Homo-oligomer: A and B are copies of this chain.
Amino acid sequence: MTRYQRLATLLAQRIEQGLYQSGERLPSVRALSEEHCVSISTVQQAYHLLEEKQLITPQPRSGYFVTPRKAAPPMPAITRPAQRPVEITQWESVLELINGRLDRDNLQLGSGTPDVSSPTLKPLWKIISRIGQKQDLALLNYDNIYGYPPLREQVARLAIDSGCRLSADEVVITTGCHEALSVAIRAVCQPGDIVAVESPTFHGTMQILRGFGIRVIEIPTDSVTGISLEALELAFEQWPIKGIVVVPNCNNPLGFVMPDARKRALLTLAERFDAAIIEDDVYGELAYDYPRPITIKSLDVDGRVLLCSSFSKTLAPGLRVGWVAPGRYFDRVIHMKYIVTGSSAMQTQAAVAEFIRQGYYQPHLRRMRQQYQRNYDNFSCHVRHYFPCGICVTRPCGGFLIWIELPEAFDTVRLNRELHASNIQVAVGSLFSASGKYRNCLRLSYAMPFNPRTEQALATIAAAIESAMERCSLLPAAEPGTAQAVESRAGAKG
């Protein structure tokens, strides 16, 4: 970070903390230059940066002022899903979301794709090129079913950061976290079983559960503290729950990191009712705070936690390199892996192992954490600027996903269809529930560096939301034709 960027960050923090209040005049360039022992031009550059971010506004011949703005929107309240096991559907909507990736013209704010253009990924390409030159025949042969041994070792080492003491022998490499979750769920459950999930839950997990004929019970989940242990306990008392699928670190889609005490309490609950915990940690290494949060797996003493993760969010999803540390379910997981893919692609495993071994992984992670945090600042600042009042927005502790809750009656499926004309794709909230909830919610990704197109897209989304809210009388402003708009909306819903 250059000097002026550091200064800008500091000033932005002061604004965020209220030291410089909305509408207040900022110190003169000269004063700041003296205070921070930097040149005049450094201060000017810092101010320009803040101006770009719309945090401050210049006024001719008066200096810079804190941009008058709305207060930060509130966080979503704890969710209240139906308290009974349900069948999962929604596949068509998930497929629509996935296929949205195919359209290069789309601005994909709905997808969970990371930014793979970082210069810290360059060494990975060099390693791939060197693999081509070295011609190690072992990389053309069938993989060991457990995974490429040097990669298993690196994964076990990385797990130390999350408080886990794993040996390489306890790690199974998979084709992405998707396969990890798939084999973990199948190792624990039979068709017809009941599994508890956070609500909202990642749509991929939902579809895996559906595909294996497993019913889910959605547990209310708080956007700061995570799954409600009280509701989970009640569910345990009422239903024969085989396992719990949770994303306790940098939750998808809510962004929270579950406090350690609650992680411990969740494990105790699982022990009491003898349920397995399938822990999806795929965003865990992208937590903004360092050191990274611990996993529930790190607290596990009797092997009931199946830790699933991958390099899809931290490095690149196209590598399809994931893993699972399945504890006592190791043998069943190996059998399930044999059944679904047999083994994983060797070259990408070798490339990732070498990337970590040569020390490129941690610097890359650091950079991505910073980038995503910076993107978040920009993104949330613009959401605050453009979006109407009366919405709730999460404050993610890591990763690159934000969850927006619109008024109860809002229909994001229709909004998404409208945005399609502007080549913008969002993830509609209903994908994240099996019981038809969250139709009034959106998940947006801020993985890509913030640029004018992103800003334009946020403005377009905000305008579409505002006009829909007006149509449905969700905003005070009323206009002729409201009744008709409401009617057409009801039609779209049916």
Contact stretch, chosen from A172-180, A218-226, A265-273, A368-376: A172-180
A341 contacts B182, CB within 8 Å?
A: yes
Interface size class of chain A, counting residues whose CB lies under 8 Å from the partner chain: 35 or more
* Chain B neighbourhood of A116, CB < 8 A: 137, 140-141
A318 contacts B346, CB within 8 Å?
A: yes
B102 contacts A144, CB within 8 Å?
A: yes
* Shortest distance from the beta carbon of A334 to any chain B beta carbon, whole Å: 7
A345 at the interface (CB under 8 A from B): yes
Query: How many angstroms between the C-alpha atoms of A316 and B131 in the bound complex?
Result: 15
A 121-150 to B, binary, CB cutoff 8 A, 1 in contact else 0: 110111111111101011111111100000
A338 contacts B140, CB within 8 Å?
A: no
Residues 91-112 of A contacting B (Cβ, < 8 Å) = 91, 94-95, 98-99, 101-102, 111
Contact stretch, chosen from A47-55, A57-65, A204-212, A285-293: A204-212
What is the total number of copies of this protein in its complex? 2
A191 at the interface (CB under 8 A from B): yes
A33 at the interface (CB under 8 A from B): no
A76 at the interface (CB under 8 A from B): no
* Shortest distance from the beta carbon of A446 to any chain B beta carbon, whole Å: 17
* Shortest distance from the beta carbon of A486 to any chain B beta carbon, whole Å: 35
Query: How many angstroms between the C-alpha atoms of A129 and B133 in the bound complex?
Result: 6
A37 at the interface (CB under 8 A from B): no
A389 at the interface (CB under 8 A from B): no
* Chain B neighbourhood of A347, CB < 8 A: 128, 318-319, 345, 347-348
* Chain B neighbourhood of A341, CB < 8 A: 175-176, 178-179, 182, 320, 340-341
Closest residue of chain B to A209 (Cβ to Cβ) is B339
Q: A142, A145, A336 — which one has the most chain B CB atoms within 10 A of its CB?
A: A142
A117 at the interface (CB under 8 A from B): yes
A342 at the interface (CB under 8 A from B): yes
A6 at the interface (CB under 8 A from B): no
B345 contacts A320, CB within 8 Å?
A: yes
A335 contacts B132, CB within 8 Å?
A: no
* Chain B neighbourhood of A141, CB < 8 A: 113, 116, 316-318
B137 contacts A126, CB within 8 Å?
A: no
Query: How many angstroms between the C-alpha atoms of A178 and B345 in the bound complex?
Result: 12
Q: A91, A139, A211, A338 — which one has the most chain B CB atoms within 10 A of its CB?
A: A338
A344 at the interface (CB under 8 A from B): yes
A 184-212 to B, binary, CB cutoff 8 A, 1 in contact else 0: 00100011000000000000100110111
Q: List 29 A-B contacts (CB under 8 A).
A: A91-B335, A94-B338, A95-B145, A98-B338, A101-B144, A113-B142, A116-B137, A117-B137, A122-B135, A126-B132, A128-B131, A129-B129, A129-B130, A140-B315, A175-B341, A178-B341, A179-B340, A179-B342, A190-B213, A191-B213, A204-B338, A204-B342, A210-B339, A317-B343, A318-B345, A319-B345, A340-B340, A340-B341, A345-B345
Q: Show the binding face of A for B, using Cβ within 8 Å.
A: 91, 94-95, 98-99, 101-102, 111, 113, 116-117, 121-122, 124-133, 135, 137-145, 175-176, 178-179, 182, 186, 190-191, 204, 207-208, 210-213, 312, 315-320, 334-336, 338-348
Knowing that A176-B342, A182-B339, A211-B338 are A-B contacts, what are 7 other residue pairs whose CB atoms are under 8 Å apart, sorted by A's residue number? A111-B142, A125-B133, A128-B132, A129-B133, A131-B132, A139-B318, A143-B318
Q: Which 4 A-B pairs have the closest CB atoms?
A: A129-B132, A211-B339, A140-B316, A128-B132
